[in-house]
Amino acid sequence: MDTPRLVVADYRAGRVYGCAARGAEGGTGARPLGCAVLAEHAGVLALPPRSGVSEGWAFADDRGGALVVHRGTVGVAPQRIPVAIPAEHLACDPTGRYVVVTTGLGANADVWSDVVTVADLDTGDSVRFRSRVGEPGVALVPDQGDGEPVIVLRHREPGGIEAIPLGDARAVGSHVPELRGRVLTDLAADGHGDVVCHRTGIAATATSRGLERFVVEHGVPRGIGISPWPVPGRAFYLRFDPATGRAVGVVRGGPTSPTAWTSWTNHLVDIDLATGDTRSVDLPGGLAFRFALGGTRAAVATIHPDGDEVTIIERSGAELRHVHAVSLPGMSHPPRPGTCRGTRSAMRRPSGGRSPSTPPGSSWPSRGAGTANCTCSATTGSGPSPCPRHSTRAVICTGPAVPSTRSAGEP
């Protein structure tokens, strides 16, 4: 076994590297894993072990148009399955056999693609169908009625939850036909960040109204409640802890202008998907990007002109509590106060050309408006990243792989 604990993708150079855990066999540092342009918004999806197949991870190659699947076996070439690109979100079923890929903007100024791909990792085949333009989030959810897997597409502007049986999607014919499912329309228009509990079949989306929870019952998506954010603001990306059944996110408050990021407030929020029970704890102000969730703790990096730091939060008690904080050395090209431009991460404009947190008339720079070096994702997956896409610190979780949704993501 030689499963990397850290995957580093330099998507500008089209290269991917793996770093094994310290002391692991062959763990002598980073090793090249081939040439591919990793779809940086979709990120890396963890794959659970299956009968006769070890755990692994997958990502979309946004140049080659393939889902690249790595398993923990030394010397075995990765599996490449054709998928539609540019890839926006990834999700797998609990068995790790099926992966669903939705499409996004890519290098285009506006949303344009409505193609969804379903890849079968056992056969190496894939099928495609047309849904709705708009960078949909995706999850695979067990139906409450019969337990069969259902593809759930989370739409924005207008908001909606669309349920398509996986069996129907796998049975589509050639020439990318249109395939639509039953739709729940009572969803805020600005959904960004999705999670699912495969054990209970409860899924959730982060919106301006709160954490909107739903299930699929006999093919029909049904809302089961909205848990309002316990502090001012909203979350834009989520992670799911399968051990506790709780969704975890960072709620951002303060000015809506992307250039006012130094005045943003941050709180770590922890919500039970089944009951809606909510907890929160404050974090340093500034820009909080992707965070790590491992065991009973969370680690959140924040960026601020007064100093960057990582805050460790303990989640095991009745209340969330601070454990300690670690100051970080300054970045070579940090984001500048009063601007949303930066020099390390690619930038992207969501549906409508603006961030979910940005008021109309305030647009983000188009993708590529900077000189990116690299992006990192853990094999545990990570939720969809918030805007702005400028210089950021992302905390990496190195725990065991868990079947997840990259919508992340969110994703």
Find out whether 100 and 123 touch, Cβ atoms under 8 Å: no
Share of the chain above pLDDT 70, in %: 78
What is the spatial distance between Cα 11 and Cα 33, in angstroms, rounded to a whole number? Answer: 13
Closest C-alpha among 208, 173, 3, 196 to residue 94: 196
Q: Per-residue confidence at 11, pLDDT binned at 50, 70, 90?
A: confident
pLDDT score of 249? 97
Which of 98-112, 212-226, 352-366 is predicted with the least confidence, judged by mean pLDDT?
352-366
Q: How many CB atoms lie within 10 A of CB 181?
A: 20
What is the spatial distance between Cα 83 and Cα 11, in angstroms, rounded to a whole number? Answer: 18
What is the spatial distance between Cα 51 and Cα 332, in angstroms, rounded to a whole number? Answer: 46
Find out whether 240 and 407 touch, Cβ atoms under 8 Å: no
Select the highest-mean-pLDDT range: 25-29, 166-170, 352-356: 166-170
What is the spatial distance between Cα 66 and Cα 90, in angstroms, rounded to a whole number? Answer: 12
Kindly state the average pLDDT of the residues 160-188: 98
* Average pLDDT score, the chain: 82
Q: Name the pTM for this structure.
A: 0.82
Q: How many CB atoms lie within 10 A of CB 324?
A: 9
Which of 122-136, 172-186, 210-224, 327-341 is predicted with the least confidence, judged by mean pLDDT?
327-341
What is the spatial distance between Cα 84 and Cα 106, in angstroms, rounded to a whole number? Answer: 11
Counting every residue, how long is the chain?
A: 411
Report the SS3 class of residue 116.
strand
Residue 379 has pLDDT above 90, yes or no: no
What is the spatial distance between Cα 287 and Cα 255, in angstroms, rounded to a whole number? Answer: 12
- Please write the tens of the pLDDT for every residue from 267-326: 999 999 999 999 999 999 999 977 888 889 999 999 999 999 999 999 999 999 999 999
**Could you tell me which residue, 122 or 2, shows the higher pLDDT?**
122
Residue 59 has pLDDT above 60, yes or no: yes
pLDDT score of 380? 29
Q: Could you please report the per-residue DSSP string of 355-368?
A: -TTS-TT-PPPPTT
Closest C-alpha among 94, 64, 95 to residue 82: 64
- Please write the tens of the pLDDT for every residue from 105-137: 988 888 899 999 999 999 999 999 999 999 999
Residue keyed to tokens 């709780």: 246
Residue 352 has pLDDT above 50, yes or no: no
Q: Per-residue confidence at 74, pLDDT binned at 50, 70, 90?
A: low
Report the SS3 class of residue 169.
helix
Which of 159-173, 184-198, 242-256, 364-378 is predicted with the least confidence, judged by mean pLDDT?
364-378
| Domain 6-406 -> CATH class | mainly beta
What is the spatial distance between Cα 283 and Cα 277, in angstroms, rounded to a whole number? Answer: 20
Distances from the Cα of 90 to the Cα of 69, 178, 405, 411, angstroms: 12, 20, 6, 8
**Could you tell me which residue, 26 or 65, shows the higher pLDDT?**
65
